[in-house]
Chain A
């Protein structure tokens, strides 16, 4: 392939990014894929090609359970986050007339502290002797601390939904901002009340933002391992925790790799499905 001056310049311009992406993303990914076809023999690795790891990852009940739980938790987190983010984005876009930037700024406030700190805060709030239990006992609503608050899947959902809210609000906000306001007036002019207009115009046109928000929240939460570790207890553990265990303590990196690739395939498939469904529903612009 011969490159003209412009082509060379283009390549030079993108090369730092390209190299970075190759080194930091493509290379590790290739390594993980390769590992998943190998076998761990106590201390050394047998590099003959095998599908055993995948067989184990897809048939062992423990992995199935963890994968299913991860999916359920992240789907619930996504649904909760997007449902709560939509009204916030809607309010900022349609109701706030001045100082929109200030509102967006406020939305990003949770980012000002480290994620770990925020998770610990949730522990403080939800814990056995935490803020919530003390308050409820102090007011006499309960006699002994509630135990279903922390160290289970609920706590994981709550913590993740809070953490990802800004990521869901922003793309929805952008999509809502892009809607030409005269379209809404046209819908009203043609007989639609507020609710019907929302269903027929606002929501379909906001769909690209909703899909983006859904994917932005869903994809990383499936693979989250800090949150379940800190607030999930035993029945809040997710697939990423198992991958970590396999690669680390269990000393079975190939199985960990197979689990990682498997969950990547599952999330990828789910994302494509969501994308297609969302487009059918109204994200398409004709």
Chain B
């Protein structure tokens, strides 16, 4: 379900059946992926799923147990980290404590026999890029967390790598700063056009920043897609519940006409879908569950409101977020409540707990799972 543009950019990294074991622990079970030149690519998954391991294999700090990694068309086997066209922004930032900001940023340029003035110019440019002009003479301990993160980024960018690798670079920052940096980092990546590979366990962060995301569980890539495709068409229940909120409802498949699938969904009712709506890898008869996102269900406040399909339910709790209200509603005929998000409007009060509401939904918004 990838949203392929007409001209597919060329690939910069090819991962072919990459496996990595540490003794008896297998951290990666055969990773296959192509990372495109100039894209913002995220490795997303819960802690321990092997994201860092994969990033370190690409950086060259570890060798895969088997499989191959190609960067820019060259196989990387036996090539150590200091000779790879990648640069890393470490989770701890790894700012050299005995060097100034400028010396940190220029670290990788010094051995290149560049004239001092040229190094200074490059360092200045990189510092300007991360909005740290004038900080060159500071020591590492005189920087805030956000500034250290920028220094680490400048230090990587100044090397003009083919790929920048970022291991949870924002996880140490507080929420506000993290959100600001997400936007800035994305904007910077788009303006310089270098491939970024970001490791994160924060699905929101991955969604906001990435062109494509590889969702990883237990050393496998569960799904590799654009943020929209991951959100709209998750291939498994696990992916669906990892990315955003998803309401799951049991369903039974029934015989239907040619090219059609009839489903009886608990609490929502019967629908007939074209077989084409069934994701690859699931046989239509085996559909046992459907998912529907909170914003795909609508509370019909006015009697005049209407929707493709309508059902009813009782409010069991509400959470008010200012712009949105999240309703927990037990639909008629269901046991567990579903979550429904509604944008707040000027003239409308939040429905009280116990209120009986009409809920609208559409067959199009439903995701099928086996």
Contact = CB atoms under 8 A, between A and B. Distances in A.
Contacts of A286: 97-100, 139-141
**Which of A186, A193, A201, A284 has the largest count of B CB atoms less than 10 A from its CB?**
A186
B119 interface: no
Contact of B98 (A189, A192, A282): A282
Interface in B90-108: 90-92, 94, 96-100, 107-108
A180 B94 contact: yes
Interface residues of A, number: 21
Interface string A255-286: 00000000000000000000000000010111
A228 B99 CA distance: 44
B90 A186 contact: yes
Contact of B90 (A182, A192, A200): A182
B96 A186 contact: yes
A158 interface: no
A204 B140 CA distance: 15
A191 interface: yes
A196 interface: yes
Contacts of B139: 285-286
A185 B82 CA distance: 9
- Nearest 6 CB-CB pairings of A with B: A286-B139, A190-B108, A186-B94, A182-B94, A285-B97, A188-B81
13 contacts: A180-B92, A180-B94, A183-B94, A185-B88, A186-B96, A188-B82, A189-B59, A189-B81, A189-B86, A191-B82, A191-B111, A193-B82, A286-B141
B212 interface: no
A104 interface: no
Interface of A: 180, 182-183, 185-193, 196, 200-201, 204-205, 282, 284-286
A187 B92 contact: no
Contacts of B90: 182, 185-186
Interface in B127-152: 139-141
A192 to B, nearest CB: 6
B155 interface: yes
A187 B98 CA distance: 13
Contacts of B99: 286
A189 B100 contact: no
Main secondary structure of the interface of A (DSSP, over half): helix
A191 B108 contact: yes
B34 interface: no
A187 B156 CA distance: 11
B107 A187 contact: yes
Given A182-B91, A189-B87, 18 more contacts: A183-B94, A185-B88, A186-B155, A188-B82, A189-B61, A189-B86, A190-B107, A191-B111, A191-B159, A192-B111, A193-B82, A196-B111, A200-B107, A205-B97, A284-B98, A285-B140, A285-B141, A286-B97
Contacts of A190: 82, 87, 107-108, 155, 159
Contacts of B365: none
A153 to B, nearest CB: 37
A41 B92 CA distance: 70
Given A187-B107, A191-B111, A192-B111, A182 B92 contact: yes
Nearest to A192: B82
A189 B97 contact: no
B80 interface: yes
Contacts of A285: 97-98, 139-141
A182 B155 CA distance: 14
A283 to B, nearest CB: 8
B111 A189 contact: no
Contacts of B59: 189
A205 B92 contact: no
A196 B111 CA distance: 9
Interface string B192-221: 000000000000000000000000000000
B83 to A, nearest CB: 8
B221 to A, nearest CB: 24
Contacts of B100: 286
Interface in B64-96: 80-83, 86-88, 90-92, 94, 96
Given A191-B159, A286-B99, A286-B140, A186 B88 contact: yes
Contacts of B82: 188-193
